[in-house]
Structure 1
């Protein structure tokens, strides 16, 4: 029974952490617009306002990473990085050949649809008179 209570408390704490993280990010965005030249008497340069958004986002991410969901997300990211290293990426020659094939196919389809459009135009103009 204590386990369920601890899980519930942890769950509530995690929800609170995520709520605080979202509020910090929103506060950073709000500060960007609040300290704009036309909105507030205490306007700041755009570089400072951008830094406030970046700081709010960074702090929000750091707070969210302390929750269980944030830790699971970090584990997922680490696993994804391992999987990316396992991928066999195409060589430059294969990439060039594929790009040329896509380009040629695009030209062929363009010609096909142009001819189809011309044929339908002739057909419609013949039917209309």
Structure 2
């Protein structure tokens, strides 16, 4: 039950940050943005104290670790794959155009339109 209350309180803190942004409409933009960031920060701290928050932040941390393990293609590989895709698209466009033209001729022939 306390986790649910913490989650609701976290949401209310985030909403309070957004409301603060609009209430400070006469102030400098920096203060308005700080209101949102403060609401988001406090909401994150409260959410982190829940079981769901622990799972969520653990998942985010594991995702970051996995993203660091990704082997990105080199510039040469990227260019080669891009050229390959462009060639394949061009070949498919020509093929589909030929199929469309041939179907059009067949339909016109079957309907006796010349």
Q: TM-score normalized by structure 1?
A: 0.64
| CA pair 119-68 structure 1, distance change in 2 beyond 3 A | same
Find the aligned partners of 2:94 and 2:36 in 1 and give their Cα distance.
Answer: 49
1:104 paired residue number: 87
Q: Does 1:77 align with 2:66?
A: no
**RMSD (CA atoms):** 2.9
Residue 45 of structure 1 and its aligned partner are, at CA, apart by 7.0
Please list every run of at least 4 consecutive aligned residues from structure 1 whose deviation after the TM superposition is greater than 6 angstroms: none
5+ unaligned residues in a row in structure 1: which ranges? 1-11, 36-41
1:13 paired residue number: 2
Find the aligned partners of 1:125 and 1:51 in 2 and give their Cα distance.
Answer: 68
Q: Does 1:124 align with 2:107?
A: yes
- 3-state secondary structure, aligned to 1:113: helix
Pairing of 1:32-71 with structure 2 (within 5 A): 43-44=25-26, 47=29, 49=32, 51-71=34-54
Q: Does 1:95 align with 2:78?
A: yes
Among residues 1, 6, 11, which one is paired with 1:22 in the alignment? 11
Find the aligned partners of 1:90 and 1:61 in 2 and give their Cα distance.
Answer: 35
Q: TM-score normalized by structure 2?
A: 0.70
Find the aligned partners of 1:93 and 1:123 in 2 and give their Cα distance.
Answer: 45
Residue 123 of structure 1 and its aligned partner are, at CA, apart by 3.0
